[in-house]
Every structure is written in structure tokens, then in C-alpha cells.
Structure 1
């Protein structure tokens, strides 16, 4: 490692390279500041260092100027270069030292106290995490579903909703909102069907990141919906809505269970397990599996397999929680399959959706998180081990 002689150094600029600032261009800010220092031959006077998160994520990108003690919010290149010359515009200052006292500029949010021990009884919150959709109707479905679920949740609990991607608030903002409302304990519950990358890596990463910001807050983590008896009741309801008699025998009928598909082989395997268990609960010729992307068989291949196996009727059964781009695409697929196979009766069922039975599963997952029996806590431990061995750059997905 290099050891610099810093005897002539007069200022030290600490440039936040935490995940939020990095996502907002912290690397560019770093290079702009260093370039301005070089151009003005100030290398002997001003030293720069990249830091981890400095806790003012809302003011991204953050630069701290010591020993003067000013904190800056850098939104454009000119501000980065002005920091070198100490000519930063007032609106870009977060904190400044005035007569030995730290002053927060009026255009900056106060933020929340990092340590809040001894401030009265603990408040507990539940933060539901939806996936998020590019189609706002899907996000609104999540919000309305949680609103309907509140009546089954202890009214003493704060209840908030956030999203992994494509919608606001994200998980980081959702956690901060809970803390701002006084939560000292937050139960993070994923509204996710299958146990894969989002639940194994992305959400645990957000929780671990939040622990750094809020060391006095206790976090628990719930498990995904997974393979649960209630989901088969929901699937049977969706089939019945197409006119399918779930109690009758259907010799020439195939059900094609269609999931999103991903790179996690265990999650994809769970789709096959669900298909098999659904077949066991019905008197139908076959239940096949297909995926919308990433993996195979594709929906086209699934339809072709059903036809080759002699199906006279095919029910496309979407395994999706909410409406969205993929559901729209699946609807168009169904139209093309009907044209391609006129001799086969092809129907598309309603997506899995936020069925009333799903509330039972979420309440069960919440109770498991509260009483310490959730497998989600093992996911947090597994993530910590994974991050130690492989590294993991915390990032946001929207």
C-alpha cells in the first residue's frame, strides 16, 4: 500500500462511495474533483479519499470537507469543481460550521436520530415488499391488497408497503419511513411467490445495509409464499373461473402452469413440484410447466408438448401475483395459440393474483417472523456468509 507524506496537506475531501451515492454518479464526482485538483496543482494541499456510506443518502452525492467541516450535496459537475476552490453555492451545502456550531441548511431534511435508546416503549412495524411492476396497475394491486390485509394485523403494528424495483418507495425508503414513524423493530415480509435471487440476495442485502444505518433497530425477515397448501386452493379457484369443474374428471384436458422463470434452479424446480401437486389434487390428463423467460420450456414449447400428448383442451394457468407487462404478453400469446391450433380449445385463466386466501399465508409468514420461526432469518445468515466469501455490492433495483 502507498504511504503518502501528508505534512503539507491542508484539506481532506471525503467523497462518499456508498451504494446510493455510487448509483447517483459518485465515481464521476470523484474524478471531477481530482481532475480539478490536478489542473490547479493543489495535490500537495488537498487530499481525497473514497468512503463508505456517510448516512445522508437523500443528499447524494455527498462530499465532506475537513477540517472546515462542511458537507456538500453534489448534483452537477460544477459543484464538484467548486468544492476544490471553496466556492460552492449555498443551495449545495448540507451542513456548515458557523461560529463553532454545526448548521443544517434550511433546504435540507433534518433526518432521523441514529441512536435513540431510552426513548420510550418500542414500536414494531411490518414492511411488506412487493416485486414492483412497470405497469402501475400492478403496483396499485399490491397497495390495495395490503390495505385489505391490515384488518387481520395487530393494530399496534405500523404497516408499510415498498417495492423491489420499478415502483416507489423502494426497500431503503420503506425502512426509513418505518424508522421515522418510531419503529425500533421491523419485520420485513416479502410478497414473493418463489424462493430465488430476490429473497435470497437482494432483500437480505437491503436489510444488512439498513442495519449499518440503524444500529438500534431490530430486523426480522419473513419467508416467501413458497409451496403452501393455500396456493392450491387459489389455483383451483382460478381454474373454476374458466368453467373448469375441479371435482370432475377431464380426460382430454391439459393445464399449463406458467411461471416467470429465473436463473435459480431450485425456484424453477419448485414450479415443477407445484405442477405435480396440483395434478395430484385434480382428475386431469396432465399438468405441465412452462416459463415466460430466462429458462425452458418456453410457453410455446409447453403448448406444443400438450398438443403432442393429445390434449383437446388446454388451460393456460398464470402463476403470477399481479398484472404487468408479462401478463399482457401472455394474453397475446394465447390469441396466437388459438389461431395456430384451431382444433384445440385454448383458454387462459386469471393470474394467481391477490386472492383472499393469500392473506392467510402472509399473516402466517408475519407471525413466523415475529415469533422467531421464520426460515427468512436463515436467509439473512446465508447472505452474510455469501457476502463474506464472494463479496456483494449493495445496490437498488429500480
Structure 2
């Protein structure tokens, strides 16, 4: 599944990207959006017309938000690690759906202030529950309305991605040395 699997649209890069081979046979990556043209494409022919936007792409990582500072700090750490992986020129911002700052509107604005014209919103959540399928798309659309000419797309939640499965196995194996017997 692509990082830009969308609800209901997905972001793909133009084949005219300077990073794409002349034959445009490879599928562009999120890394390409840092400095190349981005394009919003409908997922099916029945969807709305294609809108073309030039500029830089950004990643907005969104979690639920918590009253616990440590829980919110984790998203900051993940955002920093994603930015490190994508490169120093990338735009990666954290945001929380509720309870804590930065809000989705604040995070979206930070992306735009850094030059983003396309924002890929990744729900840093496991399942496509109500927050992912209803609340988050609504809140992101409201934030985007404040920024003319800025497109957005919703990435899929973490779900059963192979990397998540690997992390579950790794965490469980790491817990084995701490296993305790139920008998005294």
C-alpha cells in the first residue's frame, strides 16, 4: 500500500519530475515531493477533475493527542525521525487531533509557512476507526480551507503494514526475558 493511499484521493507526482527517469517507468516516492511538482489524481475516472499544483510536498503526522506530555512527545520524536529519513529539506510536522497543541490547523499552517503546496496527512494510528475515517478528514479539510492553492491527501493508518508486524514481533521478543510465572 502506498504512503499516499487516500481517503478519497491520493497524491502522486508528475512524470515530469526531474528525479524521474526519461521513460517515467518508476513510481515516484514521497521523497520526490520535497522539491518537485506534485499532482492530485482522482482514484477513479468518476472522481472530480485532476488538479495540478506545483511546489513542495509536506508530511503532517497526526495522533489523537493526550494529557500526558510523554505521549505527545513521542509524536515529536517520530516527526523528527521521519524528517531525518526524508532529508533536511523535507517538511514534516506533528499535530494532535485534540487535547494538545499543535492542533491539526496549526500543523497544517506550519507546513504551508515552510513552502508546502501539497500536504500528505498521515494518521499515526493503527486502525481506520471513526477518527481516521470521519474526524480527521473533516478537520484537515477545515485547515486546508484557510490556505488557497494548497492540496492535501490522507495516507492510510499504520494498520497491518509489514513494518508494524515486524515491530510487534520485535517488541514481543524483547518482552520474553521479563516473563513472569503466574505461580508463586
**TM-score, with structure 1 as normaliser:** 0.32
Of 57, 63, 67, the residue aligned with 1:259 is 63
Q: Which residue of 1 aligns with 2:118?
A: 313
Q: Which residue of 1 aligns with 2:32?
A: 248
Of 348, 352, 358, the residue aligned with 2:158 is 352
Q: 1:247 to 1:313 in 2, by over 3 A?
A: closer
Separation in structure 2 between the aligned mates of residue 304 and residue 317 of structure 1, nearest angstrom: 16
Alpha-carbon deviation of 1:248?
A: 2.7
Q: Which residues of structure 1 form unaligned runs of 5+?
A: 1-233, 378-398
Q: 1:300 to 1:354 in 2, by over 3 A?
A: same
Separation in structure 2 between the aligned mates of residue 352 and residue 336 of structure 1, nearest angstrom: 23
Alpha-carbon deviation of 1:292?
A: 0.6
Of 108, 122, 125, the residue aligned with 1:303 is 108
After the TM superposition, list the runs of 4 or more consecutive aligned residues in structure 1 that deviate by more than 4 angstroms.
Answer: none
Matched, 1:324 2:129: yes
Matches within 5 A, 1:209-228: none
Q: Which digits, 9 at most, give the CA deviation of each residue in 1:112-157, with x for residues without a partner? A: xxxxxxxxxxxxxxxxxxxxxxxxxxxxxxxxxxxxxxxxxxxxxx
Aligned length: 139
CA RMSD of aligned residues (A): 2.5
Alpha-carbon deviation of 1:299?
A: 0.4
Separation in structure 1 between the aligned mates of residue 160 and residue 150 of structure 2, nearest angstrom: 30
Q: Which residue of 2 aligns with 1:273?
A: 77
Q: Which residue of 2 aligns with 1:362?
A: 168
Q: Which digits, 9 at most, give the CA deviation of each residue in 1:196-233, with x for residues without a partner? A: xxxxxxxxxxxxxxxxxxxxxxxxxxxxxxxxxxxxxx
Q: Quick one: higher RCO (CA 8 Å, sep 6+), 1 or 2?
A: 2
Separation in structure 2 between the aligned mates of residue 253 and residue 356 of structure 1, nearest angstrom: 25
Q: 1:308 to 1:266 in 2, by over 3 A?
A: same
Separation in structure 2 between the aligned mates of residue 265 and residue 296 of structure 1, nearest angstrom: 11
Contact 1:238 1:352 in 2 (8 A): no
- The structure with the largest helix share of the pair is 1
Separation in structure 1 between the aligned mates of residue 111 and residue 127 of structure 2, nearest angstrom: 26
